[in-house]
Structure 1
Amino acid sequence: MFAILGEIEFTVAGGISAMEQTRSADWAEHARIQGKPLLEWIGEGLDECNLTLELHPILGNPQERLQALSQAKSQHQPLAFVMGSGEYLGVYVITHISNVIRRATAVGQIKAATVQLSLKEYTGAFTRKVARPGLLDSTVNGTSAAAAGKPGLISRLTPPPSVVQAVIGHAKTAANILRAGQKVYLAAKSGNASIILGQVPQLLGVTARAIAPLQGLASAADLLEDGADLSRLGEDVLGSVVGARSALKPVDLGNIVDRFQASHASLEQALEKMHDARTRLAGLAAQVLTRHA
């Protein structure tokens, strides 16, 4: 399997031929007298992803596959996007579908077409729906239809997220917040003491947002039979985040540079610890993807 979007599976053998990812950041431009404008980082932009799919009868019914994608778009639901390697890319919505019909029957039925599917990152509240005991209905397991992964065979059973999914979700949220915090630190680093001091409320705010998901990571991992290492990860990263916050309280123009450097170092330690655990977390995501968790 190449990837899965919600309950729709994409495979190389099933026609997916390309995936383009776009990441952006929002910057405000401030005019300055007798100088070039100054850029100020505002926040991260929404990630986007474009998939190219080839439809052909030997890859599955083109009309059914196109209809399934159109139906998913019309439902306006955020969908979890996971790569076949187990990497959890996040939550996306389908914003655009276009198709070029390359071959058709005399009555207009699609024989071959190229479909462009546009996805945009969703940052609102989201609870992933997972089928139980398997994504496909048990009545079709082992059949050629099940092997093709047709969307029409998807089970509608939707239990609450598992403990493994909670661990992955908390880790993903914490990592995203820490990366956003890193950008704030890097932007402030280029300024003088007065500018850095003015950024302290923002630095404290971004680190504060990481506390809850890290606590959730430690608590959820503690419920896993083999989650002791991930529970320690949550606690260790939380310790570094708390250290980053403590270094900034209290601060003034006389000590802000040294305090800022200490705080930045603690945040970098937190990010490094999360980065070192990426393989372990990807393994958990793979369990979810293959319906083992």
Structure 2
Amino acid sequence: MFAILGTVEFDLITYFDGLEISYGADYAEHALIGRKPRLQHVGDKLDEIKIDLVFHASYCKPEAELLRLRKAIAAHEAMSFVLGNGDYKGRFVITDATATGRQTDKSGSMIALEAQLSLREYTGEDAKPRPLAIVSGSSPLPLQAQLNKLAVPGVVATIPAISPLSQAISMAKGALNTASQALTAVAAVRQLAKSDPVSALARLPGVSATVGGALPGLGAVAEQMGGLKNITVVASDAAQTVQRVMRVRGEMSSITQNMASANAGNLLSVLTSANGAIQRVDSEIRGATLPLARMTAAAVTRQVAG
């Protein structure tokens, strides 16, 4: 799972143990004669995040990334924190950082570096809430009522405009997630065919429709990403994403065609042959994670104009 802090990209050591988020509220205690004290809410505490991360030479320069973090600490810089799925957590400052080298090459250059960071929420001088930078593919736009809860008194909150880059990122993640879920359904029918081929054959048309239904979205993503080719900051990552999305679309189209020829006699062999395509699609989806993460960083840190 990739995440981004400012423009620094990293991989969580584990999906759950590597990320700890704490929330809280402050209460003042008022003493009362002959009674227990009364609590009064005086405000919310700043959110705090602790992360265990690893920089690896396979996708970055560990020492350079660590240097960027050190510079951020020294500059007291507030940075946007975004998970690889596009979820924007807000702006944070680094309060503590420790690093441990785990692997070097024969010349002493760092190959793998583990670090532990403590982040604290930064609200700015006026404590004015910042609008969401992007919206993840699996999440709807925030409701107006939800935004109004965050608004400064006297200021009407509005739904933030979504840039073409953010739209493309959201579309890509949503389409790839849909493709992954569709192929999970294919794998489930394949497993069922081993023990109950009649039931599996009955479910096949619905599964085939699900796989076919993912194709238009993938095509739309390729078109949307193709429109980013003139934006220098993301052009390379957009082109790589388009290639991977089109390969996913090709594999899924092939699976749909093969399933259309399935019958009681060849059902299991047709579904078994789809297994290789499923693995290739999974590889392409995982390969798209890093370029999408880099584009997410560009969107969140406003490197690309809306």
- TM-score, normalisation: structure 2: 0.49
Contact 1:179 1:271 in 2 (8 A): yes
Query: How far has the Cα of 1:220 moved from its partner?
Result: 0.9
Contact 2:185 2:207 in 1 (8 A): yes
Distance 1:181 1:232, change over 3 A: same
Distance 1:63 1:214, change over 3 A: farther
Contact 2:151 2:157 in 1 (8 A): no
Contact 1:163 1:221 in 2 (8 A): no
Query: How far has the Cα of 1:223 moved from its partner?
Result: 0.9
The residue number in structure 1 matching 2:50 is none
Distance 1:90 1:178, change over 3 A: farther
The residue number in structure 2 matching 1:278 is 289
Query: How far has the Cα of 1:184 moved from its partner?
Result: 1.6
Question: What secondary structure sits across from 1:287 in the alignment?
Answer: helix
RMSD of Structure 2 on Structure 1 (CA)? 4.2
Residues 143-222 of structure 1 correspond to what in structure 2 (within 5 A)? 152=152, 160-192=161-193, 193-222=197-226
Which range moved further: 280-289 or 236-245?
280-289
Distance 1:282 1:155 in 2: 32
CA deviations on 1:13-32 (whole Å, 9 max, x unpaired) are xxxxxxx98xxxxxxxxxxx
Distance 1:245 1:90, change over 3 A: farther
Distance 1:200 1:211, change over 3 A: same
Does residue 84 (structure 1) correspond to residue 81 (structure 2)? The answer is yes
Distance 1:128 1:222, change over 3 A: farther
Distance 1:191 1:160 in 2: 46
Residues 130-149 of structure 1 correspond to what in structure 2 (within 5 A)? none
Contact 2:182 2:211 in 1 (8 A): yes
Does residue 261 (structure 1) correspond to residue 262 (structure 2)? The answer is no
The residue number in structure 1 matching 2:261 is 250
**Which residue identity does 2:251 align to in structure 1?**
S
CA deviations on 1:42-79 (whole Å, 9 max, x unpaired) are xxxxxxxx96413459xxxx74558xxxxxxxxxxxxx
Distance 1:155 1:286, change over 3 A: farther
The residue number in structure 2 matching 1:53 is 23
Question: What secondary structure sits across from 1:191 in the alignment?
Answer: helix
The residue number in structure 2 matching 1:110 is none
- TM-score, normalisation: structure 1: 0.51
Contact 2:25 2:43 in 1 (8 A): no
Distance 2:42 2:273 in 1: 59
Question: What secondary structure sits across from 1:84 in the alignment?
Answer: strand
Distance 1:127 1:87 in 2: 18
Contact 1:215 1:235 in 2 (8 A): yes
Contact 1:197 1:253 in 2 (8 A): yes
Distance 2:290 2:246 in 1: 18
**Which residue identity does 1:214 align to in structure 2?**
L
Distance 1:175 1:155 in 2: 35
Gaps (5+ residues) in structure 2?
6-14, 28-40, 46-79, 89-135, 144-149, 230-234
**Which residue identity does 2:81 align to in structure 1?**
G
The residue number in structure 2 matching 1:108 is none
Question: What secondary structure sits across from 1:253 in the alignment?
Answer: coil
Query: How far has the Cα of 1:157 moved from its partner?
Result: 6.4
Distance 1:86 1:261, change over 3 A: same
Distance 2:290 2:270 in 1: 33
